[in-house]
Structure 1
């Protein structure tokens, strides 16, 4: 599995299709956190929101790297389409983790903050929660599910709005609302960890759905 994840990460790197979502992430984080002097809990809320958008784009780009014949070769070499799908999720997770580390550091460079361990942990956890939801959305809106890119983009936009605006339902909405309304990072850690678990459950459901649909289309 590790060589397969390494292969997918390398292919994405060489294709340069990571540039648009990565530059979007860096640019928006810089704009949203420049000169900020408020509590880091509120600062990391928009950073996590940007991670949601970037992770969707990154995942869709990763899935679209290979055409059907090439993907068939990779599946045959890997020993099954499920292994390739799980490796795709893992590769997207690696890229999102790297972005999350940058997303934790940039607000400290652009703003005036005195961070503690709880603040940094919360910032990382918030971004990974959004990344899990974003990767899941990226999968169900990828070429594995939708043949036409226009439909995929429309569904991705609808799902993004749903997870951002669904009050009391979406783990992303619950987490971002809590971060914006509290200044105590320590108190927010446990609820954020619980929402991260919920987001991982949604990601698992997205993997299962994508696997079922992609097999029927094969």
Structure 2
């Protein structure tokens, strides 16, 4: 599996198709850093902005391989492994993006002022968990908005945009819950809560999305072989 993942990462880096989603994330993060936000607020913002960026970047990885090359890789290693490799590569790239965004937000923010607050290590830990929720949810969404699950680019873009918005604003969304758990300025004593339930929900969402995507790749390969 490792050679396939390295192959997918090399394809992504050489193509420079990673630039638009990364630049979108940088823009959103920089825009959200103005005004001296508190640590928890900034990390919650980072978690939310990771959703569209990671979804877009995941779709970019999954669509970066030419069709003939994809067919050859699937024939040599099996369609399931061939699709799992770019999914894993996308998760790795998204993890780097999340780490960079989280570190930037922490350095650009300040502790709560004028109110009691938990130790900064606790705020950092809870914020890091919220960032992980955004990472997992965005990666899951990208897996479902790429071939072979969604083949038409227009439908994929509309679904990705609408689902990203829903994950950010829907009260039952794991991303929305995680952001609310670490948003320190919304509390009188700037307290945060560990977003463990949202993290579990995001992990389950990622597992389900990857299962759907890998099985769809297997079915697509079977139909191609039967033609």
Tell me the TM-score normalized by structure 2. 0.84
State the distance in 1 between where 2:181 and 2:37 align. Answer: 19
Alignment of 1:154-173 (within 5 A): 154-167=158-171, 169-173=172-176
- Provide closer, same or farther for how the CA distance between residues 124 and 8 of structure 1 changes in structure 2, counting only shifts above 3 A: farther
Correspondent of 1:93 among 91, 101, 109: 91
State the distance in 1 between where 2:213 and 2:109 align. Answer: 40
RMSD in angstroms over aligned alpha carbons?
2.0
Tell whether the 8 Å contact from 2:29 to 2:101 is kept in structure 1 after alignment.
yes
Correspondent of 1:107 among 105, 108, 111: 105
Alignment of 1:131-146 (within 5 A): 131-146=135-150
Tell me what 1:184 maps to.
Answer: 191
Which ranges in structure 1 are unaligned for 5 or more consecutive residues?
none
- How many residues align? The count is 211
Tell whether the 8 Å contact from 1:96 to 1:128 is kept in structure 2 after alignment.
no
Tell whether the 8 Å contact from 1:30 to 1:106 is kept in structure 2 after alignment.
no
State the distance in 2 between where 1:89 and 1:217 align. Answer: 17
Aligned partner of residue 104 in structure 2, secondary structure: helix
- Provide closer, same or farther for how the CA distance between residues 50 and 37 of structure 1 changes in structure 2, counting only shifts above 3 A: closer
Tell whether the 8 Å contact from 1:133 to 1:202 is kept in structure 2 after alignment.
yes
Shift of 1:37: 4.1
Tell whether the 8 Å contact from 2:43 to 2:106 is kept in structure 1 after alignment.
no
Say whether 1:10 aligns with 2:6. no
Which ranges in structure 2 are unaligned for 5 or more consecutive residues?
113-118, 222-227
Tell whether the 8 Å contact from 1:41 to 1:184 is kept in structure 2 after alignment.
no
Aligned partner of residue 70 in structure 1, secondary structure: helix
State the distance in 2 between where 1:148 and 1:22 align. Answer: 23
Shift of 1:71: 0.7
Q: Deviations over 1:151-206 (max 9, x none)?
A: 11111122222222221x22112112222245334xx22xx233212111111111
